[in-house]
Structure 1
Amino acid sequence: MTDKKVRLGIIGLGAEGGMYAGLIADGKVPNVEIGAICDILTEKKARADELGVPFYEDYVEMIESGNVDAIVTCVPHYLHPEMGIAALQQDVHALLEKPVGVYTKQAREVIDYAATKPELTFGVFFNQRTNPLYVDLRELIASGELGALRHSSWIITNWWRPQGYYDQSDWRATWGGEGGGVLVNQAPHQLDLWQWLCGVPQSCFAKLAFGFRRDIAVEDEVNAIVDFGDGATGNFMTATHDLVGTDRLEILFDKGKVVVDNSKTVTITRLKDAEQELSKGMSMEDVRKMFMGQADTSELYTTEVKEYTSVWGLQHATVMENFAANVLDGTPLIAPGPDGINGVRLANAMHLSAWTGEEVDMVNFDEERYLTELNARIAAEGKFPTRS
């Protein structure tokens, strides 16, 4: 360890950037200090003055100033890759907010460039990877104790957003300004965690509703089926129009099952043997007793329930602290930048499947076809330039 601190340049002092500045200023990230703040809104300079740090309107000028060792991007999604590349070009480390890009071709550009600068740190802000619940769950799955994956489903519909949320700015919930709806704005953390836990899917088929219950062009409801390979499947459902909302993750294995409710309560069922072996050894009388509630289930499985609590802001502070530790002493990254393309690809595949009505190959994902379809929708909006 070292007493040295990483001077972080915050690009975009909105809700996220403001929170990060507050966490650092309050000493919640011991190995980071604010090097400078950049925002296109000049009124944000007042906050920079309060913190006693330089203020810039141009992020390139900030990167080239010598006042920052690293940057974090708290700006609209399309800008993440180009800002990351600009930083890396000047030998400045880059921590990109999720998603790492809107489409895989764009995400790959910053990932490929970062690979040419292996001495620099390139991370993505997946703060949920620091959540003890998911850290413990990943370790359990990796141990092999529960056997092979069979199926997983995640219903994550507690992203309710009123129409006023979408009406706040012209770029929000547009193809050209934001690049999508719930998949690129609210659900990227779950898309990342799902693959972090279960593996990267090989294909996807999806039905999406665009402007289903909101006056927007992009998706506000998603139903997708994925193929994880080796017979394992999964489904993912998310929406922004469910006022009550549900957050329930289920993962079924050969030797057990995990259920996560509201990202707080984890129920782990461990079978005494693989399910198929238990099936072979059961008589129909055994089955009758089980269905009638007369069987001693302790002979079949055990159940453990674990409760987790969350401290607001702690996960974000942990990501920044880990990122800085990698810069300072090579501590392994919790969320390496290249991991960011997995969630982008899955979101892109869901879009493309819904647009074409086809199952989408994710192993050999057609980036150009996706970009062509995306640009057709950007052009139809007539508000923003198409992408390359």
Structure 2
Amino acid sequence: MSQQTIKLGVIGLGNIAQQHINNVTSGAVENCQITALCARTDTGLAKELNAQHFTDYRTLIDSGSVDTVLIATPTLSHFAIAKYALEKGLHVMLEKPIGLSSWEGEELLKIKPENVQFALMLNQRTDPTFEKMKQVVDSGVLGEIKRTHWTMTNWFRPDIYFQVSDWRATWKGEGGGLLVNQCIHNLDIFQWICGVPNQITAFCEFGKYHNIEVEDEVTAYLRYNNKATGVFIGSTGEAPGVNRFDIIGDKGSIHFTVVDGNGQLTQKLNDQSTADFCANTDEMFGMPKVTDSDISTDEKVNQHAIIMNNFIQAIHGGTKLIAPAEDGLASLDIANAMLQSTWNKQTVSLPLDRLHYQTLLNEKASNSELRVKSKVEAKVDMNASYR
């Protein structure tokens, strides 16, 4: 039996929204029809899609022409739009992050009706390599995790990226920079696979590479409840950048690295526990025997379409969300903690005091202004934006 077509309203018509629209119109997203668009200017796209055009999100939400909305607006408006849609009982797909802070996300979850699907576009959870890494860790074959390390400096952004936007890389408009925009995906994958640390000490650099007020580089030290340690390094100012993710366990390790644009995944398994070998060997310079395996995958998927299809199926019932909105809180907590640690020059414990962080962010935002957008025409290739 065929399923009912979900009527979708898209709020915001920027670069990422266009990709979502293309996924729907091409059939990559099934059982979904765009019935309304919202943007300040009518570009004629609504007529092309046989949809209604609105200039105010509240009018679209109140129109009765949609069952669900996809919110792809600048971050500073995520909270207000999602709040209004949830209060009206609509299903919501929200582009990352869930808000300017995890406090905003928590407030949204408080008002979500029980029968409403509220998802976040954490599309990298569908990346075949990261799915495989999670399967390996969850299987226990690596033993207890002892150390984690992700250097992700492959998010290079030239000045024009910031100049053509009035909200990007401002405390007022985005609530941060590298951490809450580019690296929010990496932080989500990091905690999704390795868990949430209990302490973070971070060193953010603000405007090191660009004429912006927020962070464009971070080096953070993580501690976990089991005494495991971790390091996270991110940057939008390095070219060429590095993308290397290592997870070290008591029985082996797994290593992801990007070389010449291709991801390589290596698994190393010891013939016995490192701790057992250390305690019992009589070889002064001995090491456990290790077996190396290349478990790389060249499978390519349409990550955004997978998340949207899953969302549509969840609305129909019986399907669990890959990225429920509440899952967006952990990565934002980590990003917020890294900023707070830098501002206060001290270690931050998790769970994060979200209200305290919001107070600190409000202080930053009160002294922040949206920039005047440059009139220069930027060349946009969305495929080049993903790492």
Q: Normalization by structure 1: what TM-score? A: 0.91
Q: Identity of counterpart residues, as a percentage? A: 34
Question: Which of the numbers 62, 65, 68 marks the counterpart of 1:64?
Answer: 62
Tell me, in whole angstroms, the C-alpha distance in 2 between the residues paired with 1:121 and 1:330: 12
Moved over 4 A (4+): none
- Equivalent residue number for residue 344 of structure 1: 332
Question: Which of the numbers 119, 131, 134 marks the counterpart of 2:130?
Answer: 134
Tell me, in whole angstroms, the C-alpha distance in 2 between the residues paired with 1:133 and 1:370: 33
List per-residue Cα deviations over 1:60-91 (Å, max 9, x = no partner). 11111111111111011122222222112222
Shift of 1:31: 2.2
Question: Which of the numbers 332, 357, 376 marks the counterpart of 2:363?
Answer: 376
AA aligned opposite 2:98: V
- Equivalent residue number for residue 382 of structure 2: none
Tell me, in whole angstroms, the C-alpha distance in 2 between the residues paired with 1:186 and 1:54: 32
Shift of 1:256: 0.7
Q: What is the SS of the residue equivalent to 1:150? A: strand
Q: Whose helix fraction is larger, Structure 1's or Structure 2's? A: 1
Tell me, in whole angstroms, the C-alpha distance in 2 between the residues paired with 1:320 and 1:197: 22
List per-residue Cα deviations over 1:90-130 (Å, max 9, x = no partner). 2210111111111122111111111xx11110111100111
> Is residue 224 of structure 2 the alignment partner of residue 235 of structure 1?
no
Tell me, in whole angstroms, the C-alpha distance in 2 between the residues paired with 1:50 and 1:57: 17
AA aligned opposite 2:292: T
Tell me, in whole angstroms, the C-alpha distance in 2 between the residues paired with 1:258 and 1:272: 15
Matches within 5 A, 1:216-295: 216-262=212-258, 264-284=263-283, 287=286
2:11 and 2:57 in contact (8 A); partners too = yes
Q: What is the SS of the residue equivalent to 2:223? A: strand
Shift of 1:224: 0.5
Question: Which of the numbers 313, 325, 331 marks the counterpart of 1:325?
Answer: 313
Tell me, in whole angstroms, the C-alpha distance in 1 between the residues paired with 2:316 and 2:140: 34
Matches within 5 A, 1:360-371: 360-363=348-351, 365-371=352-358
Segment of structure 1 superposing worse, 68-77 or 32-41: 32-41
Unaligned segments of structure 2, at least 5 residues: 372-387
Q: What is the SS of the residue equivalent to 1:4? A: coil
AA aligned opposite 2:338: M
Shift of 1:172: 1.6
Tell me, in whole angstroms, the C-alpha distance in 1 between the residues paired with 2:174 and 2:122: 19
> Is residue 1 of structure 2 the alignment partner of residue 5 of structure 1?
no
- Equivalent residue number for residue 20 of structure 1: 20
AA aligned opposite 2:291: T
List per-residue Cα deviations over 1:22-51 (Å, max 9, x = no partner). 1100011112221211112233xx111111
Question: Which of the numbers 341, 354, 359 marks the counterpart of 1:353?
Answer: 341
Tell me, in whole angstroms, the C-alpha distance in 1 between the residues paired with 2:134 and 2:220: 23
List per-residue Cα deviations over 1:269-289 (Å, max 9, x = no partner). 1111110112234333663xx
AA aligned opposite 1:8: L
Question: Which of the numbers 211, 221, 238 marks the counterpart of 1:215?
Answer: 211
Q: Normalization by structure 2: what TM-score? A: 0.91
Shift of 1:3: 2.5
Segment of structure 1 superposing worse, 302-311 or 3-12: 302-311
Tell me, in whole angstroms, the C-alpha distance in 1 between the residues paired with 2:340 and 2:2: 47
Unaligned segments of structure 1, at least 5 residues: 291-298
- Equivalent residue number for residue 157 of structure 1: 153
1:104 and 1:344 in contact (8 A); partners too = yes
List per-residue Cα deviations over 1:133-166 (Å, max 9, x = no partner). 1112212211212111101010000110111211
Question: Which of the numbers 302, 305, 330 marks the counterpart of 2:294?
Answer: 305
